[in-house]
Amino acid sequence: MTETQNPLDVLIVGAGFAGVYGVHKFRSMGFNVLAVEAGENVGGTWYWNRYPGLRCDVDSLEYCFGFSEELQRDWTWTERYARQEEIERYINYAADRLDVRKDIRFNARVASTAFDEASALWTVTLENGDSYQSRFIVMATGCLTVPKTPDIAGIGDFKGELFHSVRWPRQSPDLSGKNVAVIGTGSTGVQMIPLLAQQARNLVVVQRTPAYCVPARNGPWPEERVEYWRQNFSQLRDMAKNSRAGVLHEYGILPLHAIRPEDREADLERRWLKGGPNVTYAFNDVVTNKAANEVVAEFFHRKIRSAVTDPATAEKLIPSGFPIATKRMCVGTDYYETYNRDNVQLIDLRTEKLEQIEADGIRTTDGFYPVDVIILATGYDAMTGALLAIDIQGRDGHRLREDWSHGPESYIGMGISGYPNMFVVTGPGSPSVFSNVVVSIEHDIEWIADCLDYMREHGKRTIEADPAAQDRWMDHVDEVAGRTLLNEAASWYRGANVAGKPQRFMPYVGGVNTYRDTCRQIAANGYEGFNIDGGSDARGEPAIAQAADT
Ligand code: NAP
């Protein structure tokens, strides 16, 4: 690591996609940057997660950095949906090529950050007591970082092996010949269940909410497709940036009522065969119009019934009680078909109550299931978990844990009133998890970089979201979500999966394209909605050193 100058211009927390790009971007502008990362290497969620079957369900040609022609040209993705191992290798490749590791401190978990008004500096303290001072901090802590461990009676009494998907051992355990239970059927459960069923003697799946799962139809990329992307990457990336979700889905342009019933069915079938989430974009009103939503949901119900041979099991797998696509769509391979195997049992917690976990198995109201291994695929304390794990103290005694006790509030997801010179990457109130997150990460890092440049050019000391602008933005975030069916599901998007977590729809669902335009306009208007103060810090130095001499 290069020697750290104190104070830093920018300290970044986290070295996933956002931290790696942040170090490169800010450093290339002449800023004095350091990232601190809890893991021993880069990768973020792709470093911590490594359970069997883990892939990204955004096309690999799109789930990658877009800012560098060179990085893009010299890397070849092998499959439509890249495995964890390939994505982790890619982030390491990017980190090597950008030579960012020298400005990242690994094995360094942040305990607290505190803003000092007199000096306008943040002090960032690690769990081991080391601390840094920095003029700006960038929270690149990720949306899906902190595992959620369920509070199930007796879980502490279990004498077998217990794993959480988010903390999967680097040396994957050998499950062959064992009786295994998986709790959770979200994206993680859906990916691991078919593979675990092949390894385990018996697999018991504990399902609280059945998943809508679309077939991935994963496979190697045809060479011509890879070449096409290589030749046209910038134009394709620009199209993605200007789309609703930052990814080149096949977005239907017509509402349900404008399409004849026989054409709807044919199009849904074509999209189903194509694989991936395209099927949920068949009409442009799937998440805003109940009737359109039900047409797609019923299509899925028929698919589940035709994939699963035992009708009773099929009924258990059919989701109910929430509109399709209001919980994150799952993408899987042979997910429903796995329940046709003799060694797979399904516990449906809608009809059978989980009483407790015992030393050697799971007891429900219907019986006892002996197991040697329990795997928790129970998800994350999403979007706010990693930020609130740090004791963040802003101006005037503001503490983020208190300020967000009724739910997260931000201005465009990146700024928070009361926390000057602190930026959040893909924070609540931005499209983040409702988009191709790498596209959103790049946007945020570049917007923050432009803002830092503005602060430097104008010799400014602090920038902070104005409370009224923040309120207006949050009203807009709520209003846009309120126009959809998204609040009708108890999803992690709303914090509903964590007991006691305040429920508020967290991502901005007005579209990546609209969001980018708004952010561009805010910057063009001299960072409208932010309060910008001062010309120099307490010691008479410009807020950020001029880059001219670097
Ligand atoms: P998740 O979507 O939150 O799913 C967790 C599952 O565990 C749900 O089925 C949940 O049921 C269940 N559960 C939680 N607590 C439980 C309890 N006490 N008893 C029984 N069941 C319980 O988490 P995830 O599957 O890890 O996925 C989270 C997100 O990560 C995804 O939505 C996606 O954005 C991302 N991800 C992406 C990929 C990919 O790219 N393919 C893969 C994995 C994850 P309820 O629904 O009833 O709460």
Give the confidence band of 539 by pLDDT, cuts at 50, 70, 90. very low
Whole-number Å distance between alpha carbons of 44 and 38: 9
CB of 182 closer than 8 Å to CB of 161:
no
Q: Hey, what amino acid is at 247?
A: V
Give the residue-averaged pLDDT of 414-437.
Answer: 98
Q: How far is the CA of 28 from the centre of ligand 1 (A)?
A: 38
Q: Which residues line ligand 1 (CB under 6 A)?
A: 55-57, 144, 150, 152, 183-189, 191, 206, 208-209, 328, 331, 377-380, 433, 492, 497
Atom of ligand 1 nearest to the CA of 165: 26
Pocket mutation for ligand 1, best pick of 59, 62, 208, 218 (most atoms within 8 Å of C-beta): 208
CB of 413 closer than 8 Å to CB of 465:
no
Residue 542 has what pLDDT? Answer: 46
SS3 336: helix
Q: Whose CA is nearest to atom 31 of ligand 1?
A: 187
pLDDT of 187 higher than 90: yes
Tokens 């063009």 correspond to 524
Give the residue-averaged pLDDT of 177-196.
Answer: 98
| Sheet strands (E) in 142-256 | 161-164, 179-183, 202-207, 213-215
Among positive and negative, which fits the CA dihedral 226, 230, 232, 233? Answer: positive
Q: How far is the CA of 390 from the centre of ligand 1 (A)?
A: 23
Find out whether the peptide bond into 7 is cis, omega within 30 degrees of 0.
yes
Least confident of 62-66, 239-243, 478-482, 542-546: 542-546
Return the DSSP state at 242.
T
SS3 105: strand
Atom of ligand 1 nearest to the CA of 166: 26
Q: Hey, what amino acid is at 401?
A: R
CB of 72 closer than 8 Å to CB of 232:
no
Q: What is the dihedral of CA 313, 317, 321, 326, to 10 degrees?
A: -170
Atom of ligand 1 nearest to the CA of 331: 41
Q: What pTM, to 2 d.p., does this model score?
A: 0.96
Ranges of H-type helices in 426-542: 437-457, 467-482, 512-524
Pocket mutation for ligand 1, best pick of 247, 328, 350 (most atoms within 8 Å of C-beta): 328
Cβ neighbours for 524, distance < 8 A, ≥ 6 positions apart: none
Q: Whose CA is nearest to atom 2 of ligand 1?
A: 186
Give the residue-averaged pLDDT of 438-463.
Answer: 98
Atom of ligand 1 nearest to the CA of 55: 41
Q: Whose CA is nearest to atom 43 of ligand 1?
A: 188
DSSP characters over 297-313: HHHHHHHHHHH-SSHHH
Give the confidence band of 444 by pLDDT, cuts at 50, 70, 90. very high
Residue 6 has what pLDDT? Answer: 79
SS3 550: coil
Atom of ligand 1 nearest to the CA of 379: 23
Percentage with pLDDT > 90 across the chain: 95
pLDDT of 23 higher than 90: yes
Residue 534 has what pLDDT? Answer: 80
Q: How far is the CA of 381 from the centre of ligand 1 (A)?
A: 10
Tokens standing for residue 333? 């391979």
Tokens standing for residue 216? 């991935």
Each as own residue / partner, the long-range contacts of residues 393-402 (CB below 8 Å, 24 or more positions apart, any chain) are 393/112, 393/113, 393/114, 393/115, 394/115, 394/418, 394/419, 394/420, 394/422, 395/115, 395/117, 395/419, 395/420, 395/464, 396/117
Return the DSSP state at 5.
P
Mean pLDDT of the chain: 95
Ranges of H-type helices in 66-216: 69-73, 84-98, 187-199
